[in-house]
Amino acid sequence: MGWHVVIAGGGFGGLYAARRLERVLPRQSARLTLVTDVNFMLYTPLLPGAAAGTLEPRHVVVPLRDELKTTEIHLGHVTGADPAANELRVRSIDGREETLPYDQLIVALGSVSRVMPIPGLAEHGLGFKTISEAIALRNRALLNLEIAETIDDPDERAPYLTHVFVGAGYAGLEGVAELQDYVADVIERYPRSRLQGTRWILVEALDRVMQEIPPSLAEFATRELRGRGLDIRTGTRVDTVDADSITLSTGERIPCRLVCWTAGVKPAPVVRELGLPLDHAGRIEVDQTMRVDGHQNVWAVGDAAAVPDPATNGDTSCPPTAQHALRQGRLVAENVAAVLGNGQVKPFRYKTLGVFVDMGRHKAVATMLGVKLRGFPAWWAARTYHLLAIPGVGRRLRLIVDWTVGLFFGRASAELGQLGHPPSLKGYLETPQPSGEGEDAA
């Protein structure tokens, strides 16, 4: 077989690049390998739904082997690269160090939470970027309700009923709204907590929520969430986090047992180990065609790349959104195919068409092609968009079933933190019997 095209990362950028390469590269002309540390793409816009128990966690991920037909999926952790030798370094899931030679490399390694050096934050805060974090958040809220029910003193109970989200972007706003909605749904089953009530606080360092949407929609979202009892503190920072409280820059100490940190992202740490040029934010420097500066056969897309944003004539980089990453993935595939077939590479031209912010309870805010929507129409438009956007007919049907069932029945309050963590068989080990005993039973 001819060329070897390697894609590092199987999220929005990587999956869509692989799908397009399968279509545009003539069969037998190239071998495609996708290296990823998980065998699915997480459809992050639906992550708040998974955290809130509206959607089954398995229904918000796209298994890569279902979507890719001819691409070899190589499960492993990218650990570095040597661009001069055209080699990618990978640690396999069983711990073997491997070297993958490539002719063309597409880096789509995404981002991780940007955790500020705030005392206690890393120890006591929860992130909201991965499926395990979404489930952990829901489990923590449920466990706190369970603990609250066992406490007699209302003052001692209060921290277990207080939830603080830090960062009012997509993840923070949708996360707090959906989790509040979920707790409101299940609290009937927790009599002491229901009588005392829960407390929800959203802390944002900037002067308004959701910088990604126009101020009028951000104001609507703020009004709507304040109407539900959410305490939104803009222009406020976090000073310290403890096991049982958070202290704000205003000096206020809030007793609480759930702190969720959603204040920004940074490129995946391994991006620093690839030997590629980086910008001030640590993203890989690329030109408008997404080719890495100074490297003819290396490309980068998505949250890990600083792709010049056509919306600002390249003055800034594209925002870290799925809608940019997947379109960059498709175009980079065509550019790689063009290079291999002596064709013309094209610049990235996409400008944001719309933004949805789902706030649960059948409400959302949205801008689409310059039209602003809010309330139920925005919520309906958001659901329809995601139904059409998530790959796979079966997956779409499962989402419809989840949402429909949720309309008629309450959500489950089982705390399944033990999923995937079975007890060790050592705990059940029989003590050896003196010979002769127990033989009848066998």
Ligand X SMILES: Cc1cc2nc3c(=O)[nH]c(=O)nc-3n(C[C@H](O)[C@H](O)[C@H](O)COP(=O)(O)OP(=O)(O)OC[C@H]3O[C@@H](n4cnc5c(N)ncnc54)[C@H](O)[C@@H]3O)c2cc1C
Least distance (Å) between residue 89 CB and ligand X = 10
d(CA 352, CA 375): 21
Token pair listed for 170: 């997509």
Of 21, 25, 30, 45, which lies in the binding site for ligand X, with binding defined by CB under 6 A?
45
Q: Is 270 in the site for ligand X (CB under 6 A)?
A: yes
Decide whether 301 or 337 has the Cβ nearer to ligand X: 301
Candidate segments 106-114, 116-124, 239-247, 289-297, binder of ligand X by CB under 6 A? 106-114
Decide whether 157 or 327 has the Cβ nearer to ligand X: 327
Token pair listed for 342: 């002596």
Using a 10 angstrom Cβ sphere, with 0-12 exposed, 13-18 middle and 19 or more buried, the burial of residue 426 is: exposed
Q: Is 260 in the site for ligand X (CB under 6 A)?
A: no
Q: Where does 362-418 have alpha helices with state H?
A: 376-389, 393-408
Q: Is 37 in the site for ligand X (CB under 6 A)?
A: yes
Q: Is 360 in the site for ligand X (CB under 6 A)?
A: no
d(CA 63, CA 396): 14
Q: Is 398 in the site for ligand X (CB under 6 A)?
A: no
Of 50, 100, 128, 145, which lies in the binding site for ligand X, with binding defined by CB under 6 A?
128
Q: Is the dihedral of CA 117, 118, 120, 125 positive or negative?
A: negative
Token pair listed for 429: 């080990």
Contacts of 388 (CB under 8 A, 6+ apart): 396
Count how many Cα atoms sit within 13 Å of the Cα of residue 28 in the half-sphere of its side chain: 0
* Binding string, residues 317-356; x marks residues near ligand X by CB under 6 A: ---xxxx-x-------------------------------
Least distance (Å) between residue 192 CB and ligand X = 31
Least distance (Å) between residue 186 CB and ligand X = 21
Q: Is 129 in the site for ligand X (CB under 6 A)?
A: yes
Least distance (Å) between residue 294 CB and ligand X = 21
Decide whether 145 or 300 has the Cβ nearer to ligand X: 300
Of 5, 7, 9, 81, which lies in the binding site for ligand X, with binding defined by CB under 6 A?
9
Q: Is 108 in the site for ligand X (CB under 6 A)?
A: yes
Angstrom distances, CA of residue 131 to CA of 25, 186, 265? 33, 21, 16
Angstrom distances, CA of residue 314 to CA of 311, 347, 348, 350? 7, 11, 10, 12
- Cβ–Cβ < 8 Å for 365, 213: yes
Token pair listed for 50: 């998974």
Of 181, 204, 303, 309, which lies in the binding site for ligand X, with binding defined by CB under 6 A?
303
Of 5, 14, 187, 289, which lies in the binding site for ligand X, with binding defined by CB under 6 A?
14
